[in-house]
Amino acid sequence: MCPTAATLHAPAHQPPVVARAPAGAPQPSGEPRSADGLRVSEETYWKEYYLESDIHYEWNNGRLEEKPVSDYETYLVYAWFARLMQHFLDTRPIARMVALEMGFRLPLPTGTVIRKPDLGVVCNANPQPLRPLDASYHGVFDLCIEALSDLERRAIERDTVTKKAEYAAGGVPEYYILHREPERQAFFTRTAAGLYVPIAAEDGVIRSRVLPGLQFRRTDLSAQPAPKAMYLDPVYADFVLPEWRETELRAAAQTRATQAAEARAEEQTRARQAAEARAEAQTRARQAAQAHAEAQTRARQAAEQRAEAEAQARRQLEQELADLRAEYADRRTEP
């Protein structure tokens, strides 16, 4: 949940319904003339000046104050931060952001003011929701951001001194001041005593208390890295293009799984080839053993045949010898 000050409530007096100047009202020719400093009632402000498109006015206790214009380099800082905020809220929709000159009313002990922060954030937990058709916010923003204009000293003092005091007294939990020069940037959080204190950077990283999880490097406000350079950065990975990171992580996991499967298949192939080689070696060994046994059998048979032939020859010789002896004996007995 997006925390908001428990004591914050919408002011009892709500701004009247906003209306433009009546159709057909005379318009000045040429460049619009500034009404800065003109004293008008709050009702007149809401009816005739709040929606003025050529010159944007705030209302300070009965007097119009023209909103100053920031230089382009400061605008780039603001635009980068607004995109970062949108990335965060797209991923974690815990609040709504407005950046269309939407004003809000602060009844202060010193008088009522109507301010138009360059960017305002309303948390979902804020007791006064931001409605789709609201042209002004009827509660107190949870975060106000101003792009500092340094073209005039009074413009600098308005953002750094006057609005800082007003937002703190009115109960805005956090207030950021953006500028092209890092030393003029400021990031405040409101204490229980109703005072702003700087948000301490940890390792150069500012972390919002109003929007848990929103964090950014102060140096990146100047560097302004593109989302494709941020989505793997540990500072931004949780909310800048997380689907890219998840897709890449899934692809990497699939690649690792494929490589592991291929490694297992290759290992199985090597194991099968080794088993086949062992089987082939065993076959050759068995065939060699059989050949050896057959050779031994043939050798034994040959030896047996030789022995039989020798025995037969010996018997034949013995018979012949016996025959000769008998013939000799017969001859001796003849007269």
Quick one: 244 exposed, middle or buried, by C-beta within 10 A (0-12, 13-18, 19+)?
A: middle
User: Model-level pTM greater than 0.85?
Assistant: no
Residue 10's pLDDT is 37
Strand, coil or helix: 152: coil
Residue 12's pLDDT is 38
Percent of the chain at pLDDT > 70 equals: 88
The pairing of beta strand 174-178 with beta strand 143-147: parallel
Identify the band that residue 27 occupies on the pLDDT scale cut at 50, 70 and 90.
very low
Span 247-253, average pLDDT: 70
Span 224-241, average pLDDT: 92
CA dihedral (74, 77, 79, 85) positive or negative = negative
Identify the band that residue 244 occupies on the pLDDT scale cut at 50, 70 and 90.
low
Q: What strands, in cross-sheet order, belong to the sheet with 95-98?
A: 95-98, 119-123, 143-147, 174-178, 186-190, 196-198
Span 118-134, average pLDDT: 96
Is residue 7 predicted with pLDDT exceeding 80? no
Residue 121's pLDDT is 98
Over its C-alpha atoms, the chain yields an Rg (Å, rounded) of 50
Contact between 103 and 114 under an 8 Å Cβ cutoff? The reply is yes
Closest CA to 226 of 74, 84, 42: 84
CA dihedral (40, 131, 101, 235) positive or negative = positive
Least confident of 192-196, 217-221, 250-254: 250-254
User: At the top level of CATH, which class does the domain 67-240 belong to?
Assistant: alpha beta
Phi first, then psi: give them for residue 86, nearest 5 degrees: -65, -40
Residue 256's pLDDT is 87
Give the number of other CB atoms < 10 A from CB of residue 260: 10
Domain spans of the chain, in order of start = 67-240, 242-335
Span 90-94, average pLDDT: 95
Contact between 125 and 96 under an 8 Å Cβ cutoff? The reply is no
Residue 3's pLDDT is 52
